[in-house]
Structure formats: C-alpha cells, structure tokens
C-alpha cells in the first residue's frame, strides 16, 4: 500500500515551499518598485469566500451558505489555463472528477456520494455532463460552486432530466462573459496530440444595450492508437439591456462535435465458468490481461442547442420580480464498431430536449429577505435512456419554494430557513415507456441556516437540510423491482477566519445521515449470465449499475487556506476528507483530495503552478466479473508561463503551458478496462486583442 499521508505531505510541502520562496522575492520586489516598507499592507485587499451578489440575483445564496460556496473568478480560470470546465472543477474541495467516462463523457461526484445541478446564466440546465465537456472556457466570466442544500431557490435537489442523476449536493453556477465596452480578439493555441483551438470574439456596449459574440473551434487527434480524439465547433451569443428598473439578457449557444471513447486496457482477469466432471467450475481467464479492449465507440455527431432569457423588473426599492426561460436540445448519435475486422457498425440516436421556466419574487425590507417562487422543468428523450433504451422518457417537474433570511444585530447574525416541494409528472411510463398520465409522490427539501460574525475576523455558520430523491434511470435492482426514495439529513458547520491578507483559512465539517441510500450490489448480467455489480448494455454502450438500499452515514471535512503576498503572489491550498460506513461505497471513493495553486506576477510575466492529489479507491470491474482494481492514488502537476506585450500596438499575451508535467500514469475509471491519462501534454497559446 502506497503511503497516502506521505504523498499528501509531499504535495503540500512542494506548494508551501514554492510559496515561501516566491514570497520573499515578492516582498523584496514590491519594496524596490514602490520604495515603501516591504511589509506595508497598503492597497492589499482580502477576497473572502462570500458571494458578492445582489439579493435579487438568480445566483444569490443565503449568508449561511457562504463558507460552503467556492467563487472562481475569470482571473482564477486564466491562472489554471484549463482545457475544459472539468479542469476547473477538480480544484474545488470535495469534488472528485472521473475522466474518460463512457456515454456520459466525464462526470464527477461531490463529497463522495452526490452529483450537482448546473445553473448557466441564471437558468437550470439538464444533461450537464456533455455540456461541460464542450462549453468553451474562454467564454466564461466566473463560476460559483454551492456545496450546500440550503440554497433552495436555485433548482431541484432531487434528480431530474439526467440518467446520471442522484441527490444533488449543490449547484455549479456558470456566468458567461458580457461586454462592458468595445472589444474583439483572437485566442489560438496548438499542443500535444495535434490539439488545436481557435476562439474569436467581438462585443460592445451601446448605451444600455450590450452584446458579445464568440466562436470556438477545438479539436484533438488524440494519442496514437488510443482512440481518444475529439472535435467541437461552437457559437455563443450573450446580450442584454440594463436599465434603472428593468434588466434583461439573452443567451444563445450552439455546438456541433464528436468524441471518441478511449480504449480501455484490460488489467484484471475475466470470471468464467466451465463444466468439469458434471459440475460447474468458476475460474479466472487471464488471456486478455494487458491488451486493449476491442470495443470501438464514439459519439458522432453531438449537437447541442440552447437559448435562455432572463427578465427582471424592480417595482420599488424593496420589490423585484424575475422571470427566466430556457430551452435546450441534445442530438446525439452513438456509433458502435469494433477493432476486429469485419465487425458490424451500429448507429443509435440518443436525442433529448428540455425546457425550464421560473418565476421568483424577492422582498428585501428592514433586514429581511423573503424569496417566493416556482419552477417548471420538462425533459424528453424519444428513444429512452439506459437501461430502458427504446422506451420514451417524457417527464415534467413542478416546484414551489419559499425562503426567508433575516439579518439582525447590525448584520452580525443572520438566520434563514426555507422549504421546497418538487413533484414529477410522467407523460410516458418510466417502466413501460407507454403513454400515461401519472403523478409521482412529491419530494421535499427543508433547510435552515445561521451565520454569526464573532468579530471582524471570525465568522461561524451552521446548516441543516433534509432532502428526498428517487431512483436514477441508470440504476436497477437485481430483481427488477422498484426501490424507495432516499431520505437524507445533512448537518454542516463552518468557520471562516480573515486573519491576515497572507493567511485566510476556512473549515467546513459535515455529516449526512441517509435512509435508503442506493448502494452497489450484485445481479445477473442479462447478456452474459455472469454475476456482476454492473454490466454494459450492448445496444448503447452504457453502464448499468445494480443497486439496493441501505442506511448510510457519511462524514467529512474541507479545509482551505488562501492569501495574497502583497500584489505579486497569491496562493490557494485545499484538503478534503470523506468516509462512509457502507463498505462498498467507502472503498469506491477517494477519501483524500488535495489541491493547490500558486500564482506569481512579475512585470509583464505571469507564472502559475497547480497541483492535485487524489487518494486511492477501488473500482469493481463488473463486466469482467466481481473483481476489484485499485484506481486513483496519483499526483498531477500543471503549470503555465505567460508574457504580456504589444504587437502592432495591440495587447498580446503569449502563454506556454504544460499538463501532467510528471507524466504520471493514472486512471480514474475502469469499465471495459482502465482509461489512462495520456500523460504529459504541452503547447503554446496566443491571445491578441483587436480593440
């Protein structure tokens, strides 16, 4: 067993030592340039974890959720130089990213057991896994991750419109860029595996109106022989009107691309049976260990379209009403082939579409913030989702919520509480796929929270939430019967200390008590007859999990510290730990997650180093039989250096970047085999502003 604590301490030492060395240089340089006391705190501001959003904003969360909320600015995104949104999310405490996913591309879980909802420019979006793989990071202004269930106004905390859904642990909120002046430019890059990107944008603000248009091409041939190429072309428009009493904005996004599913390397034997002397004998077949799986799967094309509208009317200083509407469609063709010559090519559509509408009213008067609202969600998949391919999915959800937050003691103490009700309606039976008019039992979420500022430095928070969640479509019980909804009580406590601009720690403790949580079990693969915990549906290439229910307790904590050493140097370090009392669940999650970033600026140069450690976990390689394979337990280091200059009297930025600089071989997923990270990658990027 690899020394997990040793790896964690090594990564923390590297990041802290780098911070220490650069700190002294930064202080000396700052003193030289400004000719001041090198330890002067003039013009140094502390960025707290609180979300600075108006209470009427669709992104606003109560004060008790501030510590459990991660704010990622545009500056942070540029410092990470991510390839996709997933590279940003993996820096969030408690977030574990699974790369090289199958039909659902990459995905993740939060705090070991849950997914999250996605709010894009104020509206709830279903099928987030495929969107997050294609949304251009150059068009994103900021991201907010709400790791808390007290934010009842953002969206449903039960699954909806996604076969990978489960109880939501919170929401990822993404804002795309809006123009504040005349602007235009080009971002172009080229890197390993013939990876290329071109991003062109133009925008302007004219009076109260603004618009921004961006087109992006992103493609990669992938590593030779790995079958992990990708391509995506997208167009994004964001515009709106900002007035004294009325605001409105619109989003249009369209993309078309493809993605190949990486070939898995078979590392564990296949469980087989044979007849010997009149009896059945089980044995392990090692003949294919070390070879690549012959399955040849890809999504081609993958077409995404989305339009969203937000309208806000301020009736008075205390009363504001907001209406939001969004429509999105995903046209997907799954192509199945084999690397064995003469195989039959199969194509199957997996199209889906959805729409959402919400109406909220906020009353902000005398330190009391009352929010009332309702949401409507619709999701349709004409050809169904695994394991019910061929069975039309057509469901709706109706939601109502009320949340109140009261400030007292000169804003030192805030109390909040709310309730949300979500009720599903099925236009097609989730069992047979036939037309029906069926209402599911409503699910409820309750939340209460408190925030107390002991002084100008220390803030304490506490939260409790109760939520219910139904069975996800990719989960089935071994006997094919229905399973009860899970019922989860969540307890959280947090402390934030703005001790010094150099040192701002925070700590969140949580405990979840879940009744009837869906946990892994074994069943009979309907296609091979093997005893497995999951199997591959040959019609879709989708993995289907056998689950049962169990009462599970989950506990953990998230610790973070950040600071700014004068102006040149900033750092962020985070560590999170999680464990459950269910054996199979506990061994399938990484208990230790460490991430960190150091950013340094010197005149026209920027340098950024980020690191990530993911602790070990086991994965049941169920298509090969009930055998476990160790995953995770890796450290990854990324870095980039940028130079800002003038080219033809225009602002220009040249960036050299590297990913997985230690060339670490790691896998976060094992289904038809282990899907390895392709290793060290590097490239160069040019950013050029026309205006």
- Whole-number Å distance between alpha carbons of 366 and 406: 9
* Per-residue confidence (pLDDT) for residue 43, from 0 to 100: 32
Distance linking the first and last C-alpha atoms of the chain: 56
pLDDT-based confidence at 585, cuts 50/70/90? confident
C-beta atoms surrounding 344 within 10 Å: 7
* Per-residue confidence (pLDDT) for residue 76, from 0 to 100: 93
pLDDT in tens, 74-122: 999 999 999 999 999 999 888 888 887 666 677 778 887 767 778 888 7
Mean pLDDT across the stretch 560-583?
91
pLDDT in tens, 314-365: 999 999 999 999 998 988 888 989 999 988 898 888 888 889 999 999 999 9
Q: Does pLDDT of 44 surpass 60?
A: no
pLDDT in tens, 157-184: 776 654 444 457 788 899 999 999 999 9
Mean pLDDT across the stretch 149-153?
75
> Looking at the 3D structure of the chain, how many domains does it have?
1
The DSSP string of 93-144 is TTEEEE-S-STT-SEEEETTTBEEEEEETTEEES-HHHHHHHS-GGGEEEEE
Dihedral angle, C-alpha 620, 621, 623, 625, nearest 10 °: -80
Question: Which structural domain range is residue 250 located in?
Answer: 4-689
Q: Does pLDDT of 228 surpass 50?
A: yes
Q: Does pLDDT of 253 surpass 50?
A: yes
* Per-residue confidence (pLDDT) for residue 122, from 0 to 100: 79
- Whole-number Å distance between alpha carbons of 170 and 146: 5
Q: Does pLDDT of 36 surpass 50?
A: no
pLDDT-based confidence at 291, cuts 50/70/90? very high
- Whole-number Å distance between alpha carbons of 94 and 598: 20
Q: Does pLDDT of 651 surpass 70?
A: yes
| Polymer length of the chain | 691
Domain CATH for 426: 2.40.170.20
Please, are residues 306 and 252 in contact by the beta-carbon 8 Å criterion?
yes
* Per-residue confidence (pLDDT) for residue 470, from 0 to 100: 64
* Per-residue confidence (pLDDT) for residue 613, from 0 to 100: 96
Apex CA 57: angle with CA 51 and CA 59, to 5°?
A: 55
| 214 vs 59, residue with greater confidence | 214
Please, are residues 483 and 473 in contact by the beta-carbon 8 Å criterion?
no
C-beta atoms surrounding 336 within 10 Å: 19
CB neighbour list of residue 96: distance below 8 Å, 6 or more residues apart:
108, 109, 110, 112, 589, 590, 593, 614
pLDDT in tens, 477-510: 777 767 777 888 999 999 999 898 889 999 999 9
Q: Which of 248-257, 429-438, 674-683 has the lowest mean pLDDT?
A: 429-438
| 283 vs 621, residue with greater confidence | 283
Which of 297, 133, 307, 138 lies closest to 231 in space, CA to CA? 133
Largest interatomic CA distance in the chain:
91
* Per-residue confidence (pLDDT) for residue 99, from 0 to 100: 81
Which of 177, 492, 118 lies closest to 326 in space, CA to CA? 118
366: region left, alpha or beta (phi > 0 left; psi from -120 to 50 alpha): left
């Amino acid at each position: 067993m690899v020394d997990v604590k040793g790896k964690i301490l090594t990564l923390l030492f590297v990041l802290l030592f780098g911070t220490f060395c650069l700190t002294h240089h930064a202080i000396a340089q700052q003193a030289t340039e400004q000719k001041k006391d090198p330890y002067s705190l003039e013009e140094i501001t502390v960025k707290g974890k609180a979300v600075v959003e108006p209470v009427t904003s669709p992104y606003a969360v109560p004060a008790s959720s501030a510590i459990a909320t991660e704010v990622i600015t545009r500056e942070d995104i540029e410092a990470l130089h991510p390839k996709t949104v997933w590279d940003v999310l993996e820096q969030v405490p408690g977030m574990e990213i699974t790369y090289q996913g199958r039909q659902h591309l990459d995905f993740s879980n939060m705090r070991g057991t849950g997914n999250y909802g996605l709010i894009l420019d104020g509206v709830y979006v279903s099928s987030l896994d495929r969107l997050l793989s294609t949304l251009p990071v150059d068009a994103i202004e900021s991201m907010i991750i709400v790791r808390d269930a007290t934010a009842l106004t953002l969206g449903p905390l039960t699954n909806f419109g996604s076969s990978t859904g489960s109880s939501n642990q919170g929401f990822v909120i993404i804002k795309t860029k809006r123009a504040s002046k005349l602007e235009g430019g080009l971002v172009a890059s080229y890197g390993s595996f013939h990876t290329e990107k071109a991003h062109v944008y133009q925008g302007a603000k004219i009076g109260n109106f603004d618009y921004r248009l961006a087109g992006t091409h992103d493609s990669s041939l992938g590593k030779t022989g790995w079958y992990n190429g990708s391509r995506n072309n997208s167009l994004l428009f964001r515009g709106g009107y900002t007035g004294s009493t009325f605001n409105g904005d619109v989003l249009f996004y369209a993309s078309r691309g493809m993605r190949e599913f990486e070939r898995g390397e078979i590392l564990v034997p296949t469980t087989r049976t044979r007849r010997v002397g009149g009896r059945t004998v089980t044995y392990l077949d090692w003949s294919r260990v070390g070879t690549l799986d012959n399955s040849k799967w890809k999504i081609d094309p993958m077409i995404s379209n989305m339009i969203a509208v937000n309208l806000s009317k301020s009736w008075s200083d205390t009363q504001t009403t907001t209406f939001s509407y969004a429509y999105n469609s995903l046209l997907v063709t799954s192509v199945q082939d084999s690397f064995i010559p003469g195989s039959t090519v199969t194509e199957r559509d997996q199209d889906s579409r959805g729409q959402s509408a919400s109406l909220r009213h906020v009353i902000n008067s005398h330190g009391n913030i009352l929010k009332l609202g309702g949401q409507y969600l619709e999701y349709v998949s004409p050809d169904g989702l695994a394991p019910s391919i061929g069975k039309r999915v057509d469901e709706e959800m109706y939601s109502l919520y009320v949340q109140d937050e009261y400030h007292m003691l000169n804003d030192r103490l805030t109390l909040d509480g709310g309730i949300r009700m979500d009720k599903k309606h099925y236009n097609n039976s989730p069992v047979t796929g036939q037309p029906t008019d069926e209402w599911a039992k409503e699910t409820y979420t309750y939340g209460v929270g408190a925030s107390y500022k002991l002084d100008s430095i220390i803030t304490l928070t506490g939260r409790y939430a109760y939520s219910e969640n139904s069975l996800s479509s990719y989960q089935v019980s071994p006997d094919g019967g229905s399973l009860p909804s899970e019922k989860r009580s969540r307890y959280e406590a947090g402390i934030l200390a703005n001790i010094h601009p150099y040192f701002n720690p925070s700590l969140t403790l949580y405990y979840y008590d879940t009744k009837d949580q869906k946990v892994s079990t074994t069943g009979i693969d309907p296609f091979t007859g093997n005893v497995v915990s999951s199997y591959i549906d040959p019609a879709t290439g989708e993995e289907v999990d056998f689950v049962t229910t169990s009462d599970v307790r989950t506990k953990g904590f998230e610790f973070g510290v950040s600071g700014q050493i004068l102006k040149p140097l900033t750092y962020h370090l985070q560590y999170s730990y999680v464990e459950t009392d269910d054996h199979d669940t506990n061994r399938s999650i990484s208990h230790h997650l460490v991430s960190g970033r150091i950013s340094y600026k010197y005149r026209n140069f920027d340098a950024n180093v980020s690191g990530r450690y993911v602790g070990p976990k086991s994965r049941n390689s169920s298509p090969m039989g009930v055998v476990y394979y160790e995953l995770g337990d890796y450290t990854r280091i990324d870095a980039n250096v940028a130079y800002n200059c003038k080219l033809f009297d225009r602002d220009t930025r040249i960036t050299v970047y590297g990913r997985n600089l230690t060339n670490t071989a790691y896998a976060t997923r094992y289904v038809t085999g282990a899907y390895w990270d392709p290793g060290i990658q590097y490239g160069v990027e040019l950013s050029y502003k026309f205006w």
